[in-house]
Chains A and B, each alone.
Chain A
Amino acid sequence: MDLAAIIIVGARQEEFDGAGNSQRAEAVSESFADIPLALLDVVGKSVVHHVADRLRCAGVEAITALTTEALCEPTVPPDRQLQPACRPADDTWRAAEEAFSAYADEGVENVLLLRLGPYAEFDLSDLLHFHRSRRQNATLIFDRNGPLDAAVVQAVRRNDAAHLIRNGLRVSRVPAEPYVTQAYVNRLQSAPDLRRLGQDALLMRCDIHPQGHELKPGVWVAERARIHRTARVLAPAFVGAHAKLRAASVVTRCSTVEHHAEVDCGTVLEDTTVLPYTYVGTGLDAAHAVAGFGRVAQLRRQAEVEIADSRLLGTVTASATWRTVKSAASLAAYLPVQAVRGLLRGGRRTQPATPAPTDAELPAPRQRPGTLEPTPEPLAASNQAPQFANDFAVVRRYGNE
């Protein structure tokens, strides 16, 4: 085996300065709803799985993903878990050292250590070529903005690896020339970065491909997604597996609805990520947001707030049986109410009273063809309900439509 990889997820406890001194990192959370962003889904798969897929495509077969036990695979049901499954560990950094030793014992030549953290699409073969040509024990990976918390280490150099791991993959034991990549990088520090990664995936700015069929240009729909015939999905957009878009809902402007999420009637999603197993209530307007796990990150306000009202934002249960039982119960509760309402109304439908129009609400006067004079309207008509012209239309714009 030539190269193995160890991916450490959500273990940023400390910030390291240039001299290797640790400081508490309060400003950068790298999480949403206390879940590391790397474990959240972006166009159908979690970031850690996108990274693992990318490594596998580059020929790396041995991959270990480590995260704390509490955070292990929060959104992926057991039947959909992909390889590598995140291995739970109380102390991920210590577990990383053990995994490194195991790979060294297996005879691996080099080990790629990654912390997610930052998502970077560096060229792996170019990195290995650089590492070998410099004959370095460990090569740190940087972009123009700083370290990417990643390094390639010779497997026989266990002390170098241990020093790197204990310093958050930022400081090498022996000074070495870093590998500076020019490739796509998203530091995934906060919810806006997660949203941007989703946008970039839909706009093909990075190598992440949406996990679904491209029904029409820019619209990806995964298997078993249910979209009501009156719902509108405007490109670019993504609807994940088993997701539900109910009547008159609109998904537009790089919005992504992840697997098992549900968007209720009339709700508009604009530049929004709906995380897995999230229910978005009826008639809402979510714009520039990340929603899920009972929280909404409003990107323009740079605020993350908790929504306790399940009518606005709720959670869909992961168990299919329980979902079916809940649906049957809600149907059983709905039908008798509608039957009683129908009986009480007695089949009569009353027209709502139309308010008398004010001056401002009156329709624009029609013009005679070829003149600038408005056509005189009968006086009585102005005091009745507003009469709109046949060609009068109200339009709301979504995207290019």
Chain B
Amino acid sequence: MGTSRPVIVKRMPDRINLQQAREFCREVQPLLRSDRPQLVFDFSTVHRMDAAGVDMLLECMAEVMKHDGDLKLAALSPQAAVVLELTRADRLFEIYETVSDAVRSFSGFLPNAMRKYAEWGVAATASESGDDTSSKIAA
């Protein structure tokens, strides 16, 4: 089972400084404002990133969350990984080793979770005991 909405992969520029971050932000703005956007930022070519890049990522994340979407990061270069870790921004994003892993994660999470619950029989017991777990999953 997969989602019908497309997952958009966007490659980040080589250098993410203030100017590049603004340009990139302008470029992805229509994507961020679409209905429930599903975005993956590919960091494999990023050689230099500064605090402006982190600010830009947080802005993108905020915008995506407003529209009930999700933004994931993939293939972090060592430079980007260190900067995100240093600024504690790595905790705010789902980060995947490869772009394909990140794309797959959009369609894979919900059915897998449901399958697990079905295997454990949690849904049945929860409905008997009045727990609202099953209703959350269905929602």
| Interfacial residues, chain A to chain B (CB-CB below 8 A) | 281, 283-287, 296, 298, 301, 303, 305-309, 311-313, 359
Q: Is the CB of A312 within 8 A of B51?
A: yes
Residues of B contacting A283 in the complex (Cβ-Cβ under 8 angstroms)? 87-88
Q: Is the CB of B79 within 8 A of A306?
A: yes
Q: Is the CB of B86 within 8 A of A284?
A: yes
Residues of A contacting B52 in the complex (Cβ-Cβ under 8 angstroms)? 309
Task: Give the residue of A301, A311, A359 whose beta carbon is less than 8 angstroms from that of B82.
Answer: A301
Q: Is the CB of A303 within 8 A of B82?
A: yes
Q: Is B85 an interface residue (CB 8 A)?
A: yes
Q: Is the CB of B78 within 8 A of A309?
A: no
Q: Is the CB of A312 within 8 A of B83?
A: yes
Counting residue pairs across A and B whose Cβ atoms lie within 8 Å, the total is 51
Q: Is the CB of A296 within 8 A of B86?
A: yes
Q: List 20 A-B contacts (CB under 8 A).
A: A283-B87, A283-B88, A287-B85, A296-B82, A298-B78, A298-B81, A298-B85, A301-B82, A303-B78, A303-B81, A303-B82, A305-B78, A305-B79, A306-B48, A309-B50, A309-B51, A309-B52, A312-B50, A312-B83, A313-B86
For A298, the closest partner residue in chain B by CB is: B82
Residues of A contacting B51 in the complex (Cβ-Cβ under 8 angstroms)? 281, 309, 311-312
Task: Give the residue of A285, A286, A301, A313 whose beta carbon is less than 8 angstroms from that of B78.
Answer: A301
Considering the chains assembled together, what is the distance between the CA atoms of A145 and B74 in angstroms? 40
CB distance from A303 to the nearest CB of B (A): 4
Residues of B contacting A307 in the complex (Cβ-Cβ under 8 angstroms)? 50, 82-83, 86
Q: Is the CB of B50 within 8 A of A301?
A: no
For B49, the closest partner residue in chain A by CB is: A309
Considering the chains assembled together, what is the distance between the CA atoms of A209 and B136 in angstroms? 59
Q: Is the CB of A305 within 8 A of B50?
A: no
9 more A-B residue pairs beyond the given contacts A284-B87, A298-B78, with a C-beta to C-beta distance below 8 A: A283-B88, A285-B85, A303-B79, A306-B79, A307-B82, A307-B83, A311-B50, A312-B51, A312-B87
Q: Is the CB of A285 within 8 A of B86?
A: yes
Residues of B contacting A313 in the complex (Cβ-Cβ under 8 angstroms)? 86
Considering the chains assembled together, what is the distance between the CA atoms of A303 and B85 in angstroms? 13
For A311, the closest partner residue in chain B by CB is: B51
Q: Is the CB of B81 within 8 A of A301?
A: yes
Considering the chains assembled together, what is the distance between the CA atoms of A313 and B87 in angstroms? 11
Q: Is the CB of A285 within 8 A of B88?
A: yes
CB distance from B16 to the nearest CB of A (A): 10
Residues of B contacting A308 in the complex (Cβ-Cβ under 8 angstroms)? 17, 48, 50
CB distance from B103 to the nearest CB of A (A): 24
CB distance from A16 to the nearest CB of B (A): 31
Considering the chains assembled together, what is the distance between the CA atoms of A281 and B48 in angstroms? 17
Q: Is the CB of B82 within 8 A of A305?
A: yes
Residues of B contacting A359 in the complex (Cβ-Cβ under 8 angstroms)? 132, 136
Residues of A contacting B87 in the complex (Cβ-Cβ under 8 angstroms)? 283-285, 312
Considering the chains assembled together, what is the distance between the CA atoms of A311 and B87 in angstroms? 11
For B15, the closest partner residue in chain A by CB is: A308
For A303, the closest partner residue in chain B by CB is: B78
Across the A-B interface, the 10 shortest Cβ-Cβ residue pairs: A309-B50, A303-B78, A305-B79, A285-B88, A298-B82, A305-B82, A311-B51, A309-B51, A284-B86, A305-B78
Q: Is the CB of B79 within 8 A of A312?
A: no
Considering the chains assembled together, what is the distance between the CA atoms of A296 and B78 in angstroms? 11
Considering the chains assembled together, what is the distance between the CA atoms of A301 and B79 in angstroms? 10
Q: A305-B78, A306-B79 are in contact. Are A312 and B86 (CB under 8 A)?
A: yes
Considering the chains assembled together, what is the distance between the CA atoms of A138 and B134 in angstroms? 79
Residues of A contacting B50 in the complex (Cβ-Cβ under 8 angstroms)? 307-309, 311-312
Residues of B contacting A284 in the complex (Cβ-Cβ under 8 angstroms)? 86-88
For A268, the closest partner residue in chain B by CB is: B88
Considering the chains assembled together, what is the distance between the CA atoms of A353 and B83 in angstroms? 31
Considering the chains assembled together, what is the distance between the CA atoms of A105 and B52 in angstroms? 62
Residues of A contacting B79 in the complex (Cβ-Cβ under 8 angstroms)? 303, 305-306
Residues of B contacting A301 in the complex (Cβ-Cβ under 8 angstroms)? 78, 81-82
CB distance from A65 to the nearest CB of B (A): 33
CB distance from A401 to the nearest CB of B (A): 20
Considering the chains assembled together, what is the distance between the CA atoms of A193 and B81 in angstroms? 22
Residues of B contacting A305 in the complex (Cβ-Cβ under 8 angstroms)? 78-79, 82-83
Interface residues of B in 1-54 (CB under 8 A from A): 17, 48, 50-52
Q: Is the CB of A286 within 8 A of B86?
A: yes
In the complex, per-residue mask of B71-82: 1 if CB is within 8 Å of any chain A CB, else 0: 000000011011
Considering the chains assembled together, what is the distance between the CA atoms of A303 and B48 in angstroms? 14
